[in-house]
Amino acid sequence: MTPLLHLRDITYAYRTRRGDPPVLQGVDLDVAPGAFVTVIGPSGSGKTTLLNVIGLLDRATSGTYTFDGRDVGAMKERERATLAREAIAFVFQAYHLLDDLSIAENIAEPLRYQKVPADERRQRVADVLDRFGLAAKADRYPGELSGGQQQLVGVARALAGRPRLLLADEPTGNLHSSQGEAVVGALRELNERDGVTVLHVTHSERWAADGGRVVEVLDGRIVADSEA
């Protein structure tokens, strides 16, 4: 099976005069379609930078990255933007909801950029609201929801775009334990029910203990991989 993600000798370095070491150093990683991978490591280990490279927010300084067999490094900016918009979704620690839009409008907004027709947008929004038990809150605004509910809206928004790859960067970092369990449960459901490939970045070993593949990052390198 062709990996969805294939990274070889990936390096990422900030251009500074101080000669700081690269944030990522020689990262090799393959992720199969439909996998659920938990990426762990302490703060500053390079987890988020790795996610940003995979999610096409940043370009690797060197190395090879292919997405479903396509050489990302050879893509022009417009091609990268199209791939990111059509195939990749993020869920961040900060909810990134627009305060002046309702919950339904927040979920629908990215679909406008994908040029999804209005009728289909409404149907997708209704479907994900119902799935996550948020239908009764469709007309409410983010400030009227708890942190856990806002993060579930973020997951619902990602699912509405029908991504192939979901990148979750510390999505439980601002939540208490029961809210965190609900969010991680939602990510696992997307993976198991919808076949979405999920990379879940966390500094908490609690979520890694649930099973599945665990990749550990330290000082910009992958130092352990439970699949290896």
Which of these ranges, 91-95, 139-143, 202-206, 217-221, has the smallest mean pLDDT? Answer: 202-206
Query: How far is residue 39 CA from its own chain's centroid?
Result: 11
The total of other beta-carbon atoms located within 10 Å of residue 123's CB is 13
Q: What is the pLDDT of residues 33-64, one digit of tens each?
A: 999 999 999 888 999 999 999 999 999 999 99
Percent of the chain past pLDDT 70, that is, above it, reads: 96
CA distance 175 to 183: 9
pTM: 0.90
pLDDT at residue 48 in the model: 92
Q: Where exactly are the structural domains of the chain?
A: 5-225
- The CATH number of 5-225 is 3.40.50.300
Q: What is the pLDDT of residues 74-88, one digit of tens each?
A: 999 999 999 999 999
Tally of residues, the chain: 228
Average pLDDT of 156-162? 91
